[in-house]
Amino acid sequence: MDETRIYKDHDVGDECFLSGHESDDSDWSIGCKQRYWLEIVKQLAYLGIVVVLTTRNETRGKDVITKLNQKRVNRSKLIDCFVKINNAGTSCVEVDREGLKALYVDPATWLSGKVDSTLFQGVITETYRSAEECLNTNYYGVKRVTMALLPLLQLSSGKARIVNLSSLRGELKRIPNERLRNELRAVEELSEEKIDATVKKFLSDLKGNALEANGWGMMLPAYSISKASINVYTRVLAKKNPDMLVNCVHPGFVSTDLNWHKGTMTVDQGASGPVMLALLPDEGPTGCYFDCTELAEFKG
C-alpha cells in the first residue's frame, strides 16, 4: 500500500473526520477531497473555523482550494496541508455498471435499507481482497488516524470532538446472527480487541464462503461490518476518553457514488449532521449515534 504521512506513517481512509481546539479562538479539522467531505469543509469554513485540508497529492489539494474559492469560502480560514493518503475506497465491491443500469430500485426502498441482496446477484460481487481493503479503510484506517491525532486533540483547552461517519448499513439489527448482535451491543464488555476479533472472524468466514451460514448480513457485507465496527469503536473510544466528545453519525440518504446517486438528500443537507457534532458545546453528548442531526439508538 502507498505510504501515508501524518506525523508518522499511517494507512488511512476517507471515513474519519476530526475537529479540535488549540486555543479559545483557533479550531482545526481534517477532511478529504470527496465531494461530500468538501461540503463539510466548506460549511466549517463559512462558520469561521480554521480548516486543515488533507488530500492525496498537491494537485488535488490545489483543485480543492480552487473549488472552495469559487464558492467564496473565506480563504483565510483554510490551511493547505497536502497529505498523501491511500484511499482504498468505501464500499469495495466490484460493480457491473451496465447490469446495474438494468435494475431499478425506488428511493423509498433504498432509504428503508430493505433492498433484497438477491436483487444484485451477478451485478455486485465482493472478493476477499476488496473486503479486506474496505475494512482496512473504513475501520482500521479510522483507528490509525485517530490514534495519530489523539495527542493533538488532548491539547484542547476545551473538549475535543471526534466525529465518525456511519451508515444505516451499520445498524446491528442488520446482522442475522443474534449472538454476534448481543456481543456488539454489550458496551460495558466491549474492547478494541473484541471488535478486531469480530472483523477477523468476518474475513475468515468470507474466505471460507461461510458468511450466510454463520449469520452475517449479505447486502454489502464488508461495508456493513465496517460501519457496525466503527459504531462500536466510537462507544469504546468515548469510554476511554471522557474528556472528549466522540460520536458517530449516519448523514442521511445522501446522493453519492456509493448509492449510484439514488440518494434523496444533497451533499449540503448531508453535511449538517457531522458539522453539528463537530461544533457541539462542551456539555454535549458523547458515545452516541446520530441519524442526521437527531440522537438515535444503536439499533440492535
- Domain boundaries along the sequence of the chain: 5-296
pLDDT of residue 53 exceeding 90, the answer is no
Mean pLDDT, the chain, whole residue set: 74
Task: Identify the residue whose cell numbers are 428503508.
Answer: 112
CA distance 97 to 188: 43
pLDDT score, position 74: 61
pLDDT of residue 179 exceeding 70, the answer is yes
Catalytic residue among 36, 139, 140, 223: 223
The pLDDT-based confidence of 266 (bands split at 50, 70, 90) is confident
Write the burial class of residue 112 (CB in 10 Å: 0-12 exposed, 13-18 middle, 19+ buried): exposed
Q: What share of the chain is helix, strand, coil (3-state, %, to 5)?
A: 45, 15, 40
Q: Are 107 and 253 in contact (CB under 8 A)?
A: yes
What are 264's three cell numbers? 434523496
CA distance 73 to 53: 13
Angle at 224 between CA 95 and CA 259, to 5 degrees: 45
Write the burial class of residue 3 (CB in 10 Å: 0-12 exposed, 13-18 middle, 19+ buried): exposed
Amino acid, res. 229: S
pTM of the model: 0.75
Phi, psi for residue 269 in degrees, rounded to 5: -70, -40
CA 207 to chain centre: 25
CA distance 67 to 51: 15
CA distance 201 to 194: 10
Q: What is the CATH topology of the domain spanning 5-296? A: Rossmann fold (3.40.50)
Q: Which of 6-10, 22-26, 225-229, 288-292 is the least confident region?
A: 6-10
What are 230's three cell numbers? 466503527
Residue of 144 and 100 predicted with greater confidence: 144
pLDDT of residue 252 exceeding 80, the answer is yes
The pLDDT-based confidence of 241 (bands split at 50, 70, 90) is very high
CA distance 56 to 66: 16
Residue of 88 and 244 predicted with greater confidence: 244
CA distance 50 to 188: 36
Residue of 65 and 78 predicted with greater confidence: 65
CA distance 271 to 111: 17
Question: DSSP secondary-structure letter at 140?
Answer: I
Question: What average pLDDT score do residues 112-124 get?
Answer: 46
Write the burial class of residue 252 (CB in 10 Å: 0-12 exposed, 13-18 middle, 19+ buried): buried
Q: Is 289 a catalytic residue?
A: no
pLDDT of residue 124 exceeding 80, the answer is no
The pLDDT-based confidence of 56 (bands split at 50, 70, 90) is low
